[in-house]
Every structure is written in C-alpha cells, then in structure tokens.
Structure 1
Amino acid sequence: MVTSDREDWDRRHRAVGIGSAQPPDALRGRLDLVPGTGRALDVACGRGAVAVWLAGRGLDVVAVDVSPAGLAAGAELATDLAPPGRIRWVEADLDDGFPTDDGSYDVVVCQRFRAPALYPALAAAVAPGGLLVVTVLSEVGDAGGRFRAAPGELVAAFAGFEVLAHHEADGEAHLLARRP
C-alpha cells in the first residue's frame, strides 16, 4: 500500500472516531456459532469493532490493520469493553502479504477487505473445525469494479470448507464456512 493510502485510512478513521463493538456482518443471526474460548484473527480490522466484540466473547484476538489511527481507536474501544490483554494490535500492510504466522485460529474474520491473493493464507489460518467469516464488496447487485468480488468468488476460493451460509446481493458477498 502506498503511504498516501495509509494516510487516507488514518484520516477516515480519525474522522469517524471510536465505534462500538459488533459482530461481523456474516454472523448476524448466527452468533451461536462463535466459540466462547480460543483464538481469533481479525484481518483488516479497521477501528476494531469486530476484534473487541470477539474479545468480549472470550476469544484471544490478533487484530491486523494498516492504519495506526484505526488500531488506536480499537485499542481505546477495548479499554472499556474487552478484558485486558485479550487483543494484540498489529500494524501491517496486507498488500505486502499476510503479516502473522502465529499458527491457526478458531475464528478468522475478514470484513470489507478483498484481497484474493490472501485467500490461501486466510484459509490456512483457520484451525480444523474453525470458523471463517468473510464479507466483501460484490459485483452482484452492483455496477462492479476492481474492489468487488465476482459472483461465486468466495465459495470458489474456499472450496475445501463446509459452507454454513453464503449470500450475494446488493453489492455485498458474505461467506460463513467451517474448516473440516
């Protein structure tokens, strides 16, 4: 990612400020699938809303994003809502590749960041029996563009996973899947 992109994300996150803890979009109505213990990875975590939510459910979380401002907002949100020490904040440019090789995770979330080159690393990060939760912008129900997934992209990319829920409409694609 170019420095100006990082600065743009910092500016966006500062303008919005601290958010609120919330589950990833693909889990709405399916929160019972999230384990109450274990490890989670939140890729492109932004202001940390999902990371803090996961930590609040009892998971130890690694939250990764390119924006120091986003990570700072997440850390501030976590001080009020997440048990201390549950979240490790990692500043990394995902355009340079997957930043962590900490083994596998019981839950891997990637919300609103599409990087097909990282799909194999995301799949590899999910522990056997673990949950993969992905939401990206989609061409389905939208005009398309380089940041939007083609129809069926997520299901094809994670073909070895058991699909628990998949939805494509209104410019978004959601995949909720379990690694066998």
Structure 2
Amino acid sequence: MSDDDRDRWDRRYRGMPPASPDDVCLPTVFRPFAHLFPTTGTAMDVACGRGTAAVWLARRGVTVRGYDISPVAIAEARALAQRCGCAGALFAVADLDGGLPPGDPVDVLLCANFRDRRLDEPMQHRVREGGLVAVSALSEVGAAPSRYRAAPGELQRAFGALDVVACGEADGRAWLLARR
C-alpha cells in the first residue's frame, strides 16, 4: 500500500473517538451467526482496524492476531485489548499488498470491510480444515461500481471451494461465511 493510503487511514482513525469496550462486537452481518464462532483456538483478523472484532473473539477465548496498515489503528486496537483485559488479542502493522503475514493455520479468518482479490486464495489456505472464513466487503450490488467493491456474486465465486454457511449482497455490502 502506498504511503498516501497509510496516511489516509491514519487520518481517518485519528478523527474517530477511541473504541470502548461497548464497541466490541462482530461486524453486523455476522452477528446472527455468532454462535458458530469458536470459543477456543486461533484466529486472524485481516485489516482489523481498531480491533473491535478481534477483541470480541479474544473475549470468547480465541487467541487472535490482528493486522492493519494503519499504525494509528493498531495502537488503538492494542489499547482496546488492554482496557478489556484481553491478553489473547495481539496486533501488528502489516502492509497486505505483500500478502498475508506469515503464520500457522487458524481456526477463524475474519476479513471485514476490506477487499483484495489477491488474498482470496491465501486466506482460504490459512484456515484449518473445518475452520471458519468470514469475509465482508463493499459491493456493487445496490451501489456504484469501483475497484474497491465486489462485483455481483464475486465472493461466492472467489470462496466457492469452501462450504458456504451463509452469504448475502445488498445495499452496497457483500458478505460470506463459510467452512473450509
């Protein structure tokens, strides 16, 4: 990612109030499926932002590694984890243009509100057999096309080798929950 992109995200996160323990939750589209997310094991949160979903997973007992391009977001995620007493939520700055950070297979891979088609296959391979993949992105369905939006049906095609639990597209959002 370019320095301009990193600076843009840093400015965005600086302009937001710090996340509080009340903000800790799954992204809205996955909340009806919260019972499917494990209470043990490991997870990776790709483009984790301020860490609200990663801390939610850690509160359930999952050891989570969250990655984001923004040092400001990562500092906020670490502070949120500390305020919530979640030693199992670890965060690092990572430029995902170079691919996923190295690591062992995980039980859950979460990627919310971020779309990089180059990561589709590596994300699927990072998840253990039987593990959960939760991906959401901006969508062209109900919104104007752009390079950052998934085309209609794109997530289902990209993650079609997985066992899809649920998926949807509407109002400029696309999401998919699947098992490997």
Please give the TM-score of this superposition, normalised by the length of structure 1: 0.95
1:18 aligns with 2:18: yes
Helix, strand or coil for the counterpart of 2:49?
A: coil
1:7-50 per-position Cα deviation (integer Å, ceiling 9, x unaligned): 11111111113222111233211111011000000000011111
1:1-180 equivalence runs, <5 A: 1-19=1-19, 20-84=23-87, 86-100=88-102, 102-179=103-180
> Displacement of 1:88 after TM fit?
1.9
Identity of matched residues, %: 46
> Displacement of 1:144 after TM fit?
1.3
Runs (5+) with no aligned partner, structure 2: none
**Whole-angstrom CA distance in 2 between matches of 1:132 and 1:43:** 11
1:60-109 per-position Cα deviation (integer Å, ceiling 9, x unaligned): 0010001110001111111121432x022121111122122x12111100
RMSD: 1.0
> Displacement of 1:118 after TM fit?
0.6
Helix, strand or coil for the counterpart of 2:15?
A: helix
Runs (5+) with no aligned partner, structure 1: none
**Whole-angstrom CA distance in 2 between matches of 1:105 and 1:88:** 14
**Whole-angstrom CA distance in 2 between matches of 1:82 and 1:53:** 11
Helix, strand or coil for the counterpart of 1:78?
A: helix
Please give the TM-score of this superposition, normalised by the length of structure 2: 0.95
Helix, strand or coil for the counterpart of 2:44?
A: strand
**Whole-angstrom CA distance in 1 between matches of 2:38 and 2:59:** 12
**Whole-angstrom CA distance in 2 between matches of 1:113 and 1:98:** 13
Corresponding pairs, count:
177
